[in-house]
Chain A
Amino acid sequence: MTKKSKDLLVGYLFLAPALLLFLVFIAEPVIASLILSFTKYNVITPSQFIGFDNFKAFFDDDRLGLVYWNTLKFVLILTPLHVILGLLLALAVQRKIAKGLKYFYRTIFYFPVLATSAAVATAWSFIFNKEFGILNYFLGLFGIEGIPWMQSPNWVYLAVAIYSFWKFIGNAFLYYFIGLQNIPESLYEAAEIDGAGKLQRFMNITLPMLSPMLFFVLVTTLIGTTQIFDEPYLITGGGPGDASRSVNMYIYEIAFQKHQMGYASTVSISLFLAILAITALQFGLSKKWVSYDQE
């Protein structure tokens, strides 16, 4: 055997397990999703080709409009929350303070990110309880009485935002924190010699140098919140009514509670296209403000 054909064989042998799993669990499902969206299928009885009926149903579905609107609200609330507050927090910790204190803050802010979501979200659903929750108890000490966290269609978003801050702010924080540490000190020293003020140094050194990290946090937060599921499912249950039901919760309901696999695939493809459009837009816009020439 020549070296070339031997390399071909060995290469594919090394690749075989990954390739096989990729074809079965990623590639095939993507194609199957597309096909399913043209069918009616409940897993038990054979699937039935129904043309564009799912797409017609898609545009007639009032609940779908609502869950998309809810998801948009989550995105508009949670994305700035993490992108901006995470940065402010990282800047505050990145000052010239004792190393031990930095480590302390980093540990405290990041640990909730790793905590088991389902467990801590369950605990938070008790914290938000209107009658016996500790949050309302402490607010009561300041004269703020009986906030209906779970009973009001508006408060429920603040509840999810508070939980999301507590649970995930450490993620954005840590990315920024590491990004800030990688900015060479010499740049600031040079700027100081040139007489640049604090704001100038921030605008002309920190922001451009941090822009790849900012972009990364922005895109991952956008993608993550568009697919939000755990928070509303575990804390609000999508309620009151459908007030905090996200698209992903709705897909779960159609697919795994109502067993309408075809229609659920149609909705999931629509969400995929929405994410793709947002991501593409971000990458397009990023050319204007993200600078990768770090030297």
Chain B
Amino acid sequence: MSAPTLSKSKATPPSHGRPGSDRTNFAREEFVRSVRRNLSAHGFLIGAVLCFSFFSWYPMVREFILAFQKNENGKTTWAGWSNLTYIFNDPAFWQAWRNTLLFTGLALLLGFVVPFVVAVVLNEFRHGQGYLRLLVYLPVMLPPVASVLLFKYFYDPGYGLFNRILETFGLPAQQWLQDTDTAMLSVVIAATWMSMGGATLIYLAALQGIPGELYEAAELDGAGILRKIWHVTIPQTRLILSLMLLMQIIATMQVFTEPFLLTNGAGPEGSTTTVVYLIYQYAFNFNNYGSAAALGLVLLVLLAGFSAVYVRLSRGSED
């Protein structure tokens, strides 16, 4: 008990009453003040830092450790690279990657192009923009279980709306989620409907920042609509477009909920098994945390590459 009070009296020496008279005194006072300031500042930080430590930073470290451990009958042993060799030899691994890349490719084709086109079109309207923006964003607010089960009904080969629509256009009915050829595309269509609102609104905001003079200048040079889009709209939104592209790659490669809910994860003959679903299976169906972590690590390394580009680009955008 006495130690802190002692050190405190040392920190505030008797010459305290004459400020500035002694250089070291002044420095010491400054030091005490900064310690006190720091204590209160760290007090404000402590809650978040603790949460991050337990639920973010520690799991990050643990992910690396788990990937090289085996857990059998409640006993944890060092496994070296065996988890990695195990997943590489698992045929499901390659199928999951093929499916995930297919999902990412299709999701970019739809989920990247469609919102941009929609944003460009909406930006031209002088009426009803509020209503249209609201519509596009509406599905984003639905609980995923609602939108996913809705699409399950629409995809039903028997009474589903989608086959009804195809029929009115004289097109052949599809098996949608139940066919290996169309299952992933069906998942992508649903996923795009569910989430395109966010991207659309971000593009809209970007489009509204384009100075109109650029379009005028392009018109003076005789550019038509498509050339204006190519030479003005896209270059002016390039930064946001490239960042959104990367963010979408990163997000779509982690897809889980949509295939899980739409096709119970696997789909016909495993045609919608994604990498994250495989992680889920390893960990929670087979109790094989090591392999799950190893697969997570592979995903992490791959996405870290994309993230590095992302950081680079977003740094560039700050200036």
Q: Do A and B bind each other?
A: no
